[in-house]
Chains A and B, each alone.
Chain A
Amino acid sequence: MSRKARKGKSVLPGFGLTMGITVAMLSVLVLIPLASVLVYAFHMSWKEFLELMMRPNVRQAFVTSVSCAFVAAVLNCVFGLVLAWVLVRYEFPGKRLMDGMIELPFALPTAVAGITLSKMYSDEGILGRLLGYIGIKASYTKTGLTIALVFIGIPFVVRALQPVLEKLPGTYEEASTMLGASRSYTFRRVILPELMPALLTGFGLALARGIGEYGSVIYISGNSAKEGTQVVSYIIMQKLNSGNVDYEGAAAIALVLLLVSFFLLFLINMIQIAAGRRTKQ
């Protein structure tokens, strides 16, 4: 009832059609197959489930995955904002090259990225030696893990921000500056709010991708339960590859992982839709 009433507000056509297509495709290509796996989690009893989740290595893996992905997403927002800003607003030699190469982390197969990064940041590698001088060990530590997640997440933030920044007319800032506002004030109060939805999208995607990441972190993390560098995806793989395949355990962990990132994404989408409403008014 209320849906109908609300829907009636829009004069635009295509609600039924797009709704039908969206829901149908989403169900067939994503939700139903996914449910077929996750249903295995319900073969466990609550007790088994809790026991599994409370296992030290499982708990540790969740802490590691979420915290490293979060730190990496924050770093990506900072650097992504700078990169996007520079790419849109300034002219300098090599800009096009830089612009073109932002997607590299997507194009590089995650396994190759992982192997390359772990080599570069190991004690023998060029960057690993550099970091060694200032006393940081990157490969086979959480630092390395976070670096790998920054690597795979950066395009999400840059590419989410770029189109919006391009649309953002320079006149906003000019007006604000003319009115006597400082640049940082202009940035904080005028530009940042405009960028917020896109920035949040980028943050959310980088975070979500980082939490579930497998290929690129598996080589650099060292997978040591003692050092706490096992990620959740690794535990899932461990359950599946062990001599006694544990579908239930793998599905249960995947389900919890999904709920965690679902919750995070949901939060971000709420903020985003709220922000969208504000700009519309």
Chain B
Amino acid sequence: MEKHNNSEGKFVPYLLIGISVLFFLVMLVFPLAEVIYRSLKDGIEVYKSALAASNTLSALWVTLIATVIALVVNTFFGLCASWLLTKFEFRGKQVLSTLIDIPFSISPVIAGLAFIMTFGRVGWAKPIIDWFNGVFGTDISFVFSVPGVVLATIFVTFPFVSRELLPVMQAQGSAEEEAAAMMGARGFVIFRRVTFPHIKWALLYGMILCAARAFGEFGAVYAVSKARGKTFTLPLEIDALYMAGSSDSITQAFAVSSLLVLMAIIMLVLKQIVEYRGKVMEE
């Protein structure tokens, strides 16, 4: 019995690693290699000029704004929601938990349309915005503008943080927090001292997923952003370049894509460093 276990034990890791590496190569590395190969096909000069184009820079700026705001909003929301859903029992919990996941399952096309039908020219909230603009002398618009892009980005990345936190907080239970509360600790102190250390990596994972998804969102943002060089995000700029059809612009499209990939990789490297430090500190 023992022996059998051991031999199985040696074989299994190699098998599993083999499967993983194969899957990893085929599903993830090949597409990435394709993007990078295509972006550098016409040489580094083309690559550089694609990244320095004013449309690209403007798109980068809009993308960063949308990502940062979505990250802040969704992190705040994720913490509140997962605290609510894991520390308390109440009626309608399942429903609430499922409602939070809606943005995952809604077609991105509809997500963009949602804001148009609320704040757009045909939207019910349009008179309210017009009234507001009239009274306060502002010129606010929530669709076909940067705020529209931000809203759409928040929408599609809405559940990411809470989704990552929920399983961990559930596995953790709330015994420690309850003990702390019994000892008279106040709410925020409990969270900071007791809960946070347990969930910080999951929180980081969630934030990274949220940011990565926010960079890459296309469908929803496409619906509310039409002006290239003004409200376009990087994915829209890539699409515009790709759709321009000439082989040069396709190369440029892949060059800009590689920028997105690079942004994601930088974040992931950062995550690894932070994580490593965290582990060293614990020891």
Contacts and interface: CB of A to CB of B under 8 A. Distances in A.
Nearest to A80: B23
B212 interface: yes
Nearest to B93: A273
A275 B163 CA distance: 16
Interface in B70-110: 73, 76-77, 80-81, 83-84, 86-91, 93-110
B264 interface: yes
B190 to A, nearest CB: 7
Given A14-B187, A105-B28, A106-B209, A205 B88 contact: no
Contacts of B44: none
Could you say which interface size class chain A belongs to?
35 or more
Contact of A36 (B123, B174, B242): B123
A150 B208 contact: no
Contacts of A201: 163, 166-167
A42 interface: no
B27 A151 contact: yes
Interface stretch (B14-22, B49-57, B128-136): B14-22
Nearest to B23: A79
A230 interface: no
A266 B114 contact: no
Interface in B175-209: 177-178, 181-182, 186-187, 190-191, 201-202, 205, 208-209
A267 to B, nearest CB: 9
Contact of A205 (B77, B101, B208, B263): B101
Contacts of B9: 183
B152 to A, nearest CB: 10
B31 A120 contact: yes
Interface string A89-101: 1101010101111
B168 interface: yes
A237 interface: yes
Nearest to B29: A101
A127 interface: yes
Contacts of A86: 13, 16-17, 20
A107 B108 contact: no
Contact of B114 (A3, A33, A279): A33
A111 B109 contact: no
Interface in A73-91: 79, 82-83, 85-87, 89-90
Contacts of A150: 27
Interface of B is mostly: helix
Interface in A189-241: 194, 197-198, 201, 204-205, 208-209, 211-215, 232-233, 236-237, 240
Contacts of B5: 177, 182-183
Given A26-B99, A108-B216, A240 B113 contact: yes
B218 to A, nearest CB: 5
Contact of A164 (B77, B81, B103, B168): B168
Interface string B237-266: 011001000000000011001001101110
Given A82-B19, A98-B24, A36 B106 contact: no
A185 B205 CA distance: 31
B202 A163 contact: yes
Contacts of A10: 87-89, 174, 178
B163 A236 contact: no
B179 to A, nearest CB: 9
Among A22, A116, A233, the most chain B Cβ lie within 10 Å of the Cβ of A22
A177 B1 CA distance: 10
B117 A40 contact: yes
Given A214-B109, A215-B218, A113 B31 contact: yes
Given A21-B77, A30-B158, A163-B202, A107 B105 contact: no
A96 to B, nearest CB: 6
A265 B163 contact: no
Given A33-B117, A104-B31, A276 B213 contact: no
Interface of B: 1, 4-5, 8-9, 12-13, 16-17, 19-21, 23-24, 26-32, 34-35, 73, 76-77, 80-81, 83-84, 86-91, 93-111, 113-115, 117-118, 123-125, 151, 154-155, 158, 163-164, 166-168, 170-171, 173-174, 177-178, 181-182, 186-187, 190-191, 201-202, 205, 208-209, 212-213, 215-219, 234-235, 238-239, 242, 253-254, 257, 260-261, 263-265, 268-269, 271-272
Query: Lowest 3 CB-CB distances: which A-B pairs, in order?
Result: A107-B264, A261-B105, A109-B235
Given A13-B187, A103-B264, A266-B98, 9 more contacts: A7-B89, A30-B155, A40-B117, A82-B20, A110-B218, A112-B35, A201-B167, A204-B101, A233-B108
Interface of A: 2-3, 6-7, 9-15, 17-19, 21-23, 25-26, 29-34, 36-37, 40, 79, 82-83, 85-87, 89-90, 92, 94, 96, 98-113, 115-117, 119-120, 126-127, 150-151, 154-155, 159-160, 162-164, 166-167, 177, 180, 182-183, 194, 197-198, 201, 204-205, 208-209, 211-215, 232-233, 236-237, 240, 250-251, 254, 257-258, 261-262, 264-266, 269-270, 272-273, 276, 279-280
